[in-house]
Amino acid sequence: MSNTETKPRTKVRTKTERPRLHKVILVNDDFTPREFVVTVLKAEFRMTEDQAHKVMITAHRLGVCVVAVFTKDVAETKATRATDAGRAKGYPLLFTTEPEE
Ligand code: TYC
């Protein structure tokens, strides 16, 4: 009988990788009122009036603005909820997500 059998060994990982974060991106449009965008940013992303206004005006001027980063699930849920808040009022307001590099 052989005594040389070895137990399967799980690979030792010295480093624990963090889950990749995902950006929530606010997209500009020509129809959603500025004040409504600010209201949604405050409600869904817990921003102050000042922070929300800066993000809104950046998207308005440049076309898009990164709102915040979260884990994939949280980013997608927040982007969907914020987009739905606009849709409920008939606005084409859009929040998208993308993985961070
Ligand atoms: N451009 C819109 C307006 O002039 C305001 C706006 C800003 C809409 C940012 C969407 O992501 C947005 N009423």
pLDDT digits (tens, 9 = 90+) for 4-25: 666 666 777 778 888 899 999 9
pLDDT digits (tens, 9 = 90+) for 73-87: 999 999 999 999 999
Q: Which domain holds residue 55?
A: 32-99
For residue 1, pLDDT over 50 is answered with no
As a whole number of angstroms, the distance between CA 32 and CA 73 comes to: 26
Residues within 6 Å of ligand 1 by CB: 26-30, 32-34, 37, 56, 59-60, 93
Domain membership of residue 53 (yes or no) is yes
Atom of ligand 1 nearest to the CA of 93: 10
Domain membership of residue 37 (yes or no) is yes
For residue 2, pLDDT over 90 is answered with no
Residue nearest to atom 7 of ligand 1 (CA): 60
**Residue 81's domain is classified under what CATH number?**
3.30.1390.10
The residue ranking higher by pLDDT, 61 or 15, is 61
Name the domain count of the chain: 1
pTM of the shown model: 0.86
Domain membership of residue 24 (yes or no) is no
pLDDT score of 5: 62
The residue ranking higher by pLDDT, 38 or 15, is 38
Probe residue for ligand 1, chosen from 41, 60, 65, 95 as the CB with the greatest number of ligand atoms within 8 Å: 60
Question: What kind and span of H or E run contains 73?
Answer: helix 72-88
Domain membership of residue 43 (yes or no) is yes
Domain membership of residue 4 (yes or no) is no
For residue 93, pLDDT over 60 is answered with yes
Rounded to the nearest whole angstrom, what is the distance from the C-alpha of residue 96 to the centroid of ligand 1? Answer: 15
Q: Give the single-character DSSP code of 54.
A: H
